[in-house]
Amino acid sequence: MKILVYIDNRKNHIKKTDLELVYYAYLIAKKHGGSVDALVLGSGENAGELGKYGADRVYTLSHGEFFDANGISKVVKNFAEEKSADLIIVPFNSSGKPLVGMLAALLNASTVTGVLDVPEMDDGKFVFKKGVFSSKAFAYIKALNNKVVVSLIPNSLSPEEVVSEANVETVSMAVDERVKVVGVDKVEGKVPLPEAERIVSGGRGMKGPENWGVLLDLAKALDAETACSRPVSDVGWRPHTEHVGQTGIVVRPNLYVALGISGAIQHLAGVSSSKVIVVINKDPEAPFFKAADYGVVGDLFDVAPKLTEAINKFKGN
Ligand SMILES: Cc1cc2nc3c(=O)[nH]c(=O)nc-3n(C[C@H](O)[C@H](O)[C@H](O)COP(=O)(O)OP(=O)(O)OC[C@H]3O[C@@H](n4cnc5c(N)ncnc54)[C@H](O)[C@@H]3O)c2cc1C
């Protein structure tokens, strides 16, 4: 079996999610047999590192300018055909999501989005696990075609170094563009929330945007990203890019700290897959405590600064 991993490296550094994709492919190849190719879109700086996490061969494709999902899907399709790839793995993020459907159509492949675990094999066909109903249940989906395209949810596994660096080969390929992306405005310097390992999140209990310093201090101490409940972004205390939940971003960090969030079902839908949940709320009856691994009943304006101080002390700051 041949596995192809697509890595969007246009920011020219290999991210943890890229390592997760390659390590996921490695685990599949180890379990079911096969080899792993990685196609890296971008300058390919540090691309050899992907070898440490299981890529047998790494190919980089530099294009120079932005191009859109339509152009990328054709490049990946051509490359997948050239390498006779049976399984193509892309990230479940803004760069991978539009690719899955296009690639499946171009390759006449089965597709499963948002997979979580290394698939089992049934009768020579992959069976993938994915979360459904806002991650309250799991579905097991059998891919019936010979070619399969899947997207992997970030933070589904912890990548480990397994082999040595791979050789990197630069490839060139004509890109058939139907539209041209002439610019992208995006928040720089922040880890996208779906990929964040730690998140500190605030709700209406924060009382107003002027109080966010307490939360930002804790986030800084934990080296965490920041998020919020929907009402907080609806009233403009925080940007909509931080809104998590059923109608916002779905996250699955290793640590989710909730300050002054009640834990409504629509909020939990976006955060309940977090590995460890810490809730600080002054109401002992707040529903979030039922989903929490650790809870502190208390005023967040007392508790959060003490927690920040303790973490900084522990870190020796
Ligand atoms: C269709 C639909 C979709 C929705 N989608 C989302 C979604 O995606 N994400 C989302 O978040 N919500 C969503 N909601 C809204 C959701 O139902 C809740 O209204 C919302 O999550 C509540 O936000 P909150 O917990 O910040 O505020 P509140 O419910 O007002 O809770 C504030 C909490 O802060 C605590 N508190 C107050 N002061 C302090 C203090 N000093 N110290 C400690 N604790 C304190 C209170 O005890 C309370 O538990 C949706 C609703 C609908 C109808």
* CA 269 to chain CA mean position, Å: 16
Residue 287's CB is within 10 A of a number of other CB atoms, namely: 17
Rounded to 5°, angle at Cα 205 from 204 and 210:
80
pLDDT in tens, 86-134: 999 999 988 899 999 999 999 999 999 999 999 999 999 999 999 888 7
| SS3 at position 6 | strand
State how far the Cα of 58 lies from the Cα of 56, in Å rounded to an integer. 7
What parts of the chain have a pLDDT lower than 70?
11, 63-67, 186-188
H-only helix segments in the chain: 16-32, 69-82, 97-107, 212-222, 230-234, 265-271, 288-291, 300-315
Strands of 153-210, DSSP E:
168-171, 198-202
CB distance 237 to 231 below 8 Å: no
**How is residue 217 written in tokens?**
């201090």
Q: What domains, with CATH codes, occur in the chain?
A: 2-171 (3.40.50.620), 193-315 (3.40.50.1220)
Look at residue 297 in the predicted model and tell me its pLDDT.
98
* CA 61 to chain CA mean position, Å: 23
For a mutational test of ligand 1's pocket, the pick from 249, 261, 288, i.e. the residue with the most ligand atoms closer than 8 A to its C-beta, is 261
Q: Give me ligand 1 centre to Cα 213, in Å.
A: 20
Look at residue 46 in the predicted model and tell me its pLDDT.
84
Look at residue 241 in the predicted model and tell me its pLDDT.
92
pLDDT in tens, 17-29: 999 999 999 999 9
State how far the Cα of 107 lies from the Cα of 315, in Å rounded to an integer. 51
- Which numbered atom of ligand 1 lies nearest the CA of 299? 42
Show the ligand 1 pocket: residues with CB < 6 angstroms: 203-205, 229-232, 245-248, 260-262, 264, 266-267, 270, 280-283, 286, 299-301
Look at residue 289 in the predicted model and tell me its pLDDT.
98
